[in-house]
């Protein structure tokens, strides 16, 4: 309840103060005329908006004025705009004091305040053209026989356009010092209107460059609701789209604030940075609203300085403290500052605004009769003693344009007089006669492509200065240059800033942030949300083996195959080279098994050699057993070629030795199986069987089958041999080097041939398994070949489903498993008898066993 009562009363303090001030201001403050004349042989018309609100009629009761002043809106001056009059006066005094420019001719001016309505504005123009001070005018008559030259108008395009419609009828030269406007450059409509200010075509580029520099990607726009606002909106949209900056909102300044006030400020807190573009007139109401609402948490980026004066404002904070302003770059005029220090109402008694300033700020009083300013002011009263937010002594853009415009008129008039002297010399004391329209031919040279070019080489650069407003505490009013923007500079060097001296609004302890979404850090990328602006996004981690090492990346960068992404996904690390090495646990185990099995095979060979005269060694072709054991030794050892760092030679060696060694082993098993069959068939009549037994023909199976496999391998090595390959994906952080088989068809042909030999040997051994004999090994041969066949059939799907080291390990395991099957099932039972049952490895035991078997068969 307290806040509901206190806050409205608190907000009314400025109005209460306004009432108090009103009763303490002399009535002369209100009844002094708004227009005045500065003497000169030739007169320039000046139409400036110093007092932009209505004043009361002189005949009105002063008590009624005081009562109406409760609203504080009827008689308010913009003292910052008073600098326009001083710039005009400064330029005229410089010209009058220059003996080389307009000798024997002095310049003067007539000042008329641009009032609130178009009717009053045009009335002032008519009064000036006719030199009549009353409310009625006499068109086409000059009552005081003044020599008029040109008129200065501004500050907005509307004022210049309104006045230009009247001047156009008389071909009267008009110079506009307000911001450049393409409408006023229409020569069909405004043939005799000349704009002094340069084009602001690169302003949008400069402001957007500032946004990019500070990484402000989410900004608001406040523009006037007219053709200039629509044009600059289009420029901003194009530039922002190119630079990836989004517009949070666009607000067009309404013509009437009261009906749009609440709606206008809706969603104003969506962003911390707001761009304001317009001229002084179109932005005055906006600026006043911003200040009255104490919107102190925003960085305002503007093309003009806040241009109003509230001397009754007692708030400590200022809404525009920390704002950034883009202004045209002009050479600083220190003479103007010195000139301001000498200005006072006693030096220029015709100036009706100086007495009001001295009365209001320096405690001077007016006389009761005639409203003359008394000399009872504060000591050392001077305009440079006023607070900067009330009156700024540094020359503004508009004041500089006024200064240049006066010089343009002076030089044009100088050229005209020289031309007249050359054509028609006049005698001493005879005045030079001219008409204002004659200046147009000289003034046309002022504008060339929108850039000011004066005949005396005083060119205006399109470079922008960037100013920072320091107004904390209120009244400091400093404008500090913190950088510049030069559109003609090389790319990347156009914007120059000194960030260390920038003061931001009090809410920010560092550079403000203005983004729709927080930045995506390293290892993340942006994902644009559907239906939202491109600046509104979410962050998602980079995919596997992708990185992002910059902020707000649209796409992650994939690491090369030779590198892999680190855990944070912001850097690619080089992969370590890996292969099935002897130092690896898996390689160590497989190599140990291969060596142990090779040693075991050699041990079996030793057993067979030592017991070569025993019946069990002689029973099944002793030579074939030795050949099989030797080939099995090579089979075990060939697996070692698959371990270690591969090279071209080992890749070729491992496949050829594997194929040839296993072919020799299987061919030997096949020969043993056939030998068993022939041995049992030898007791039957038949010359062929006997010849096979005597000639040892089965032994030729080994070289024949081996040569066939050698042919396969030779063709393989000649057409598409194995080569070194890399696997960069199976094992994270490693590149696995392995031997690629080269021709997959050739490899499967070699493997298929081995399986074919195993199947043939298995078939022969299986058919001879029932043949009666004490040492018949057919059943062991058939079982060993069955295991061999199963191992390699199982190998194919497992091999193709593994990668890298495990692919190599699978092949080694298959080699060891199949070789062990042959060794174990063929020679295991024999070694068991030789080593553990030596009593059964004698001829007597075999003879007795054969006799007992015959007796049983006879009984049955």
State the Cα torsion 558-560-562-567 to the nearest 10°.
Answer: -20
As to burial, measured by CB atoms within 10 angstroms (0-12 exposed, 13-18 middle, 19+ buried), residue 798 is: middle
- Please count the other Cβ atoms lying within 10 Å of the Cβ belonging to residue 648: 12
Q: What pLDDT score was predicted for residue 811? A: 87
Most confident of 101-105, 216-220, 424-428, 846-850: 216-220
- Give helix then strand counts, H and E, for the chain: 25, 25
Sheet arrangement for strand 42-48: 36-38, 107-113, 42-48, 147-153, 174-176, 193-195
User: Is CATH 3.40.50.2300 correct for 203-329+463-501?
Assistant: yes
Confidence of residue 5 (pLDDT cuts 50, 70, 90): very low
Residues 232-243, mean pLDDT to the nearest whole number: 92
3-state secondary structure of 347: coil
Q: Above 60 in pLDDT, residue 68?
A: no
pLDDT in tens, 302-355: 998 887 655 445 455 678 889 999 988 877 777 898 999 999 998 998 998 888
Q: What pLDDT score was predicted for residue 212? A: 94
Q: Assess contact for 193 and 221: CB atoms under 8 A.
A: no
Residues 677-706, mean pLDDT to the nearest whole number: 63
Q: Assess contact for 150 and 45: CB atoms under 8 A.
A: yes
Q: What pLDDT score was predicted for residue 832? A: 86
pLDDT in tens, 371-389: 888 777 877 788 988 877 7
Q: What pLDDT score was predicted for residue 362? A: 86
Beta-ladder partners of 275: 221, 301
Confidence of residue 853 (pLDDT cuts 50, 70, 90): low
Q: What pLDDT score was predicted for residue 174? A: 94
Q: What pLDDT score was predicted for residue 473? A: 73
Q: What pLDDT score was predicted for residue 310? A: 54
Q: What is the mean pLDDT of the chain?
A: 80
Q: What pLDDT score was predicted for residue 599? A: 93
Do 26-200+348-366+385-452 and 619-718+736-842 agree at the fold level?
Answer: no
Backbone angles phi, psi at 267, to 5 degrees: 65, 20
Residues 424-436, mean pLDDT to the nearest whole number: 64
Q: What pLDDT score was predicted for residue 144? A: 63
High-pLDDT (> 90) share of the chain, %: 23
Classify domain 619-718+736-842 at the CATH topology level.
Rhopdopsin 7-helix transmembrane proteins (1.20.1070)
**Residue from 434, 574, 565, 542 nearest 150 by CA:** 434
The contacts of residue 570 (CB under 8 Å, 6+ apart) are 522, 523, 547, 548, 549
Q: Look-up: residue for tokens 């009666």?
A: 772
Ordered by start, the domain boundaries in the chain are: 26-200+348-366+385-452, 203-329+463-501, 524-576, 619-718+736-842
- Please count the other Cβ atoms lying within 10 Å of the Cβ belonging to residue 660: 20
Q: What pLDDT score was predicted for residue 109? A: 95
List the Cα angle 478/479/480 in 5-degree steps: 110
Residues 248-254, mean pLDDT to the nearest whole number: 90
Q: Assess contact for 611 and 834: CB atoms under 8 A.
A: yes
Backbone angles phi, psi at 140, to 5 degrees: 70, 15
CA distance 812 to 739: 13
Indicate yes or no: pTM above 0.75: no
H/E stretch holding 246: strand 246-253
The contacts of residue 67 (CB under 8 Å, 6+ apart) are none
Residues 603-622, mean pLDDT to the nearest whole number: 82
Q: Which long-range contacts (CB under 8 A, 24 or more apart) does 631-635 make?
A: 631/661, 631/662, 631/664, 631/665, 631/668, 632/601, 632/665, 632/819, 632/822, 632/823, 633/598, 633/601, 633/602, 633/605, 634/661, 634/664, 635/661, 635/662, 635/665, 635/815, 635/818, 635/819
State the Cα torsion 682-684-687-688 to the nearest 10°.
Answer: -60
Q: Above 50 in pLDDT, residue 786?
A: yes
Backbone angles phi, psi at 657, to 5 degrees: -65, -40
Q: What pLDDT score was predicted for residue 583? A: 87
Tokens of 347: 């030096």
**Beta strands 495-497 and 478-485: pairing type?**
antiparallel
Of 341-350, 652-661, 803-812, the least confident:
803-812
Most confident of 62-76, 398-412, 756-770, 841-855: 398-412
- Identify whether 473 is preceded by a cis peptide bond (ω within 30 of 0): yes
pLDDT in tens, 808-845: 888 889 889 988 988 888 888 888 888 888 777 776 77
Tokens of 678: 């022939």
Architecture of domain 26-200+348-366+385-452: 3-Layer(aba) Sandwich (3.40)
* CATH of region 524-576, choose from 2.60.40, 2.10.50, 2.60.60, 2.40.350: 2.10.50
Q: Above 70 in pLDDT, residue 687?
A: no
Tokens of 311: 């001397």
Q: Above 50 in pLDDT, residue 46?
A: yes
**Residue from 384, 433, 404, 349 nearest 148 by CA:** 433
CA distance 409 to 440: 10
Tokens of 725: 């390959």
């Amino acid at each position: 309840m307290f806040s509901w009562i206190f806050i409205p009363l608190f907000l009314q303090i400025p109005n209460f103060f306004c009432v108090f001030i009103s009763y303490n201001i002399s009535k002369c403050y209100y009844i002094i005329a708004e227009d005045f004349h500065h003497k000169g042989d030739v007169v320039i018309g000046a139409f400036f908006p110093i007092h932009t609100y209505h004043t009361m009629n002189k005949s009105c009761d002063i008590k009624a004025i005081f009562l109406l002043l409760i609203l504080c809106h009827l008689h308010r001056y913009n003292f910052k705009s008073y600098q326009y009059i001083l710039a005009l006066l400064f330029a005229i005094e410089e010209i009058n004091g220059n003996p080389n420019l307009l000798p024997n001719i002095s310049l003067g001016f007539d000042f008329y305040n641009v009032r609130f309505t178009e009717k009053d504005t045009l009335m002032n123009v008519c009064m000036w053209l006719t030199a009549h001070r009353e409310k009625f005018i006499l068109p086409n008559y000059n009552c005081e026989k003044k020599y008029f030259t040109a008129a200065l108008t501004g500050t907005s395009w509307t004022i210049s356009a309104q006045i230009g419609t009247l001047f156009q009828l008389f071909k009267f030269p008009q110079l506009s010092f307000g911001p450049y406007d393409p409408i006023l450059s229409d020569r069909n409509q405004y043939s005799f209107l000349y704009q002094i200010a340069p084009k602001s075509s690169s302003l949008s580029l400069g402001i957007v460059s500032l946004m990019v520099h500070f990484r402000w990607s989410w900004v608001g726009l406040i523009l006037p609701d007219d053709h200039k606002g629509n044009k600059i909106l289009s420029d901003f949209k194009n530039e922002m789209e190119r630079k990836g900056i989004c517009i949070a909102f666009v607000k067009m300044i309404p013509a009437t604030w009261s009906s749009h006030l609440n709606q206008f400020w809706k969603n104003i807190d969506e962003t911390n940075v707001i761009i304001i573009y317009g001229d002084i007139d179109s932005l005055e109401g906006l600026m006043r609203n911003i200040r009255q609402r104490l919107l102190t948490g925003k960085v305002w980026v503007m093309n003009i300085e806040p241009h109003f004066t509230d001397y009754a404002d007692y708030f400590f904070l200022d809404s525009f403290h920390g704002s950034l302003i883009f202004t045209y770059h002009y050479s600083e005029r220190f003479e103007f500052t010195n000139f301001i220090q000498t200005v006072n109402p006693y030096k220029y008694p015709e100036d009706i605004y100086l007495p009001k300033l001295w009365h209001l700020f320096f405690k001077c009083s007016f006389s009761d009769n005639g409203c003359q300013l008394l000399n009872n002011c504060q000591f050392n009263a001077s305009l440079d003693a006023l607070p900067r937010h009330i009156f700024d002594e540094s020359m503004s853009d508009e004041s500089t344009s006024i200064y240049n415009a006066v010089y343009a008129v002076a030089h044009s008039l100088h050229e005209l007089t020289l031309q007249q002297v050359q054509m028609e010399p006049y005698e001493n004391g005879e005045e030079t006669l001219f008409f204002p329209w004659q200046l147009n031919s000289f003034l046309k040279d002022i504008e060339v492509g929108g850039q000011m070019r004066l005949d005396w080489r005083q060119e205006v650069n399109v470079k922008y200065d960037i100013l920072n407003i320091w107004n904390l505490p209120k009244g400091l009013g400093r404008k500090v240059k913190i950088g510049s923007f030069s559109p003609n500079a090389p790319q990347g060097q156009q914007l120059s800033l000194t960030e260390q001296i920038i003061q931001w609004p009090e809410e920010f302890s560092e550079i403000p942030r203005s983004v729709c979404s927080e930045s995506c850090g390293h290892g993340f990328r942006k994902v644009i949300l559907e239906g939202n602006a491109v600046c509104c996004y979410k962050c998602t981690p980079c995919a596997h083996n992708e990185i992002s090492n910059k902020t707000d990346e649209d796409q992650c960068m994939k690491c090369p195959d030779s590198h892999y992404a680190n855990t944070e996904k912001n850097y690619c690390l080089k992969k370590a080279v890996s292969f099935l090495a002897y130092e690896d646990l898996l390689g160590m185990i497989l190599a140990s098994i291969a060596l142990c099995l090779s040693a075991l095979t050699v041990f079996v060979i030793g057993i067979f050699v030592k017991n070569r005269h025993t019946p069990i060694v002689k029973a099944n072709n002793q030579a074939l057993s030795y050949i099989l054991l030797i080939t099995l030794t090579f089979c075990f050892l060939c697996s070692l070629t698959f371990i270690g760092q591969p090279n071209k030679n080992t890749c070729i060696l491992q496949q050829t030795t594997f194929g040839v060694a296993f072919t020799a082993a299987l061919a030997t098993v096949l020969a043993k199986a056939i030998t068993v069959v022939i041995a049992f068939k030898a007791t039957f009549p038949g010359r062929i069987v006997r010849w096979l037994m005597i000639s040892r023909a089965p032994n030729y199976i080994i070289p024949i089958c081996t040569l066939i496999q050698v042919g396969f391998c030779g063709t393989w090595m000649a057409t598409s041999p194995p080569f070194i390959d890399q696997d960069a994906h199976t094992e994270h952080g490693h590149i696995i080097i392995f031997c690629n088989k080269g021709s997959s068809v050739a490899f499967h042909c070699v493997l298929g041939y081995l399986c074919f030999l195993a199947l043939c040997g298995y078939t022969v051994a299986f058919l001879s398994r029932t043949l009666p004999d004490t040492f018949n090994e057919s059943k062991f041969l058939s079982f060993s070949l069955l295991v061999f066949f199963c191992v390699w059939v199982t190998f194919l799907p497992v091999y193709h489903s593994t990668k890298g080291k495990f692919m190599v390990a699978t092949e080694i395991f298959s080699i060891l498993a199949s070789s062990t099957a042959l060794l174990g099932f063929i020679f295991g039972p024999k070694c068991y008898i030789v080593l553990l049952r030596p009593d059964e490895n004698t001829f007597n035991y075999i003879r007795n066993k054969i006799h007992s078997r015959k007796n049983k068969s006879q009984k049955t």
